[in-house]
């Protein structure tokens, strides 16, 4: 079976190249194992691109991203570039790619492997079998709203939180459809007691729910949602929210699973073209030491095969291999476990491939 798909790999900065290397190895192995016909290209993005080209998102990278069928991103940023002008910072590449490719739907699963219950910061009974999906609107809201800036005097700064009905509706559809495929419950998170934007958000989501009578919709204020995620996370199945709230809530959910190094993400456009990336940052403090956990990047490849390429069997084979390796007691350094079963970044990648054979 060949599909002739192209994947652009953007390793980025810090531990990005290390985890991307393992994800690339796994993708290459699955590609040949299942004869998927996927070709890969690798280019610079973020701080590494700035060092070579003077900009975090070079034209060559953007063009290749537009032409590819899916993108695997490592991580961008680091203290080396913190003092650059706003437009030149590595993180601008990320916002640029999301905006240019219209990757408006961010899917952030928070799944706790039964083999890692002891690694969570919450009590075992609170997180055992946790399987939660947060859907975050990614190209609107306060991160992109205009006007924005700093006043001439430099004494104040301003950002604009803005959403249109159309933007809310399209992320709402993604969320309702995801809920239909899962447990048919959806919690929409907003701040409707204070923000006009959230009043509109709640109104649009409520109206949209009439088209999905099989999905039970609830609404929750964001401060309560943050508390409930820590108090009783298993009450949620699918959550949908705006850009700012989704950024914060998905990181809270990430820590419920024992390590942020375990979690993948997908950012999709309306054609299911996606950029896939681990949710962890560039972690420059552990860069080059073989300590990074590549499982989030490898899981991101599994999401890519599922969402952009509709290759469910190949996707499941990667997820199964990860669970088998964890069940055998192998861990990277961010996970609790027996010292004699601790693996380096590349050893973990090799172990996943070993179990795929």
* Active site residue ranges: 143, 191, 223, 247, 251
Sheet strands side by side (includes 185-190): 38-42, 5-12, 70-75, 274-276, 266-268, 105-111, 131-137, 238-241, 185-190, 216-221
d(CA 173, CA 179): 10
Distance of CA 24 to the CA centre of its chain: 17
How far apart, in Å, are the Cα atoms of 3 and each of 6, 34, 177?
Answer: 9, 11, 26
Radius of gyration of the chain (CA): 20
The neighbour count for residue 140, using CB atoms within 10 Å, is: 22
Beta carbons of 89 and 78 less than 8 angstroms apart: no
- In the block, tokens 């009905």 appear at 165
Beta carbons of 45 and 95 less than 8 angstroms apart: no
Closest CA to 24 of 41, 5, 12, 1: 41
As given in the structure block, the two tokens for residue 81 are: 């570039």
The neighbour count for residue 6, using CB atoms within 10 Å, is: 15
Beta carbons of 76 and 94 less than 8 angstroms apart: yes
Helix intervals (H) in the chain: 16-33, 47-53, 59-67, 91-100, 124-127, 165-180, 196-208, 222-231, 243-256, 295-307, 312-327, 345-356
As given in the structure block, the two tokens for residue 185 are: 């419950």
How far apart, in Å, are the Cα atoms of 201 and each of 60, 146, 286?
Answer: 37, 18, 40
As given in the structure block, the two tokens for residue 6 are: 């192209």
């Amino acid at each position: 079976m060949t599909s002739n798909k192209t994947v652009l790999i953007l390793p980025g900065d810090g531990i990005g190249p290390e985890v991307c290397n393992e994800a690339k190895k796994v993708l290459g192995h699955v590609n040949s194992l299942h004869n998927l016909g996927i070709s890969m290209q690798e280019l610079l993005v973020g701080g590494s691109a700035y060092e070579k080209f003077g900009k975090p998102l070079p034209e060559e990278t953007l063009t290749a991203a537009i032409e590819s069928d899916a993108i695997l991103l490592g991580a961008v940023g680091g203290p080396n570039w913190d003092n650059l002008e706003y437009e030149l910072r590595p993180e601008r590449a990320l916002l640029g790619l999301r905006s240019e490719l219209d990757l408006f739907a961010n899917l952030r699963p928070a799944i706790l492997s039964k083999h890692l219950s002891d690694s969570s910061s919450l009590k075992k009974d609170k997180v055992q079998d946790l399987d939660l999906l947060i859907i975050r609107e990614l190209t609107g809201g306060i991160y992109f709203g205009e006007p924005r800036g700093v006043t001439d005097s430099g004494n104040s700064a301003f950002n604009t939180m803005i959403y249109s009905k159309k933007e809310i509706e399209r992320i709402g559809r993604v969320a309702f459809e995801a809920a239909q495929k899962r447990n048919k419950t959806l919690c929409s998170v907003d701040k409707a007691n204070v923000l006009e934007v959230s009043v509109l958000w709640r109104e649009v989501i409520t109206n949209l729910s009439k088209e999905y009578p099989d999905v039970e919709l609830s609404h929750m204020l964001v401060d309560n949602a943050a508390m409930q995620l820590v108090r009783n996370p298993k009450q949620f199945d699918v959550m949908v929210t705006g850009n700012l709230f989704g950024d914060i809530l998905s990181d809270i959910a990430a820590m419920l699973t024992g390590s942020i190094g375990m979690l993948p993400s997908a950012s999709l456009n309306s054609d299911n073209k996606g950029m896939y990336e681990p949710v962890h940052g560039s972690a420059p403090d552990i860069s080059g030491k073989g300590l990074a956990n590549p499982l989030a990047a490898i899981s991101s490849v599994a999401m890519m095969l599922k969402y952009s390429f509709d290759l469910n069997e190949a996707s499941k084979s990667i997820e199964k291999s990860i669970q088998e390796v964890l069940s055998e007691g192998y861990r990277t350094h961010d996970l609790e476990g027996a010292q004699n079963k601790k693996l380096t970044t590349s050893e973990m990648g090799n172990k996943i491939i070993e179990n795929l054979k």
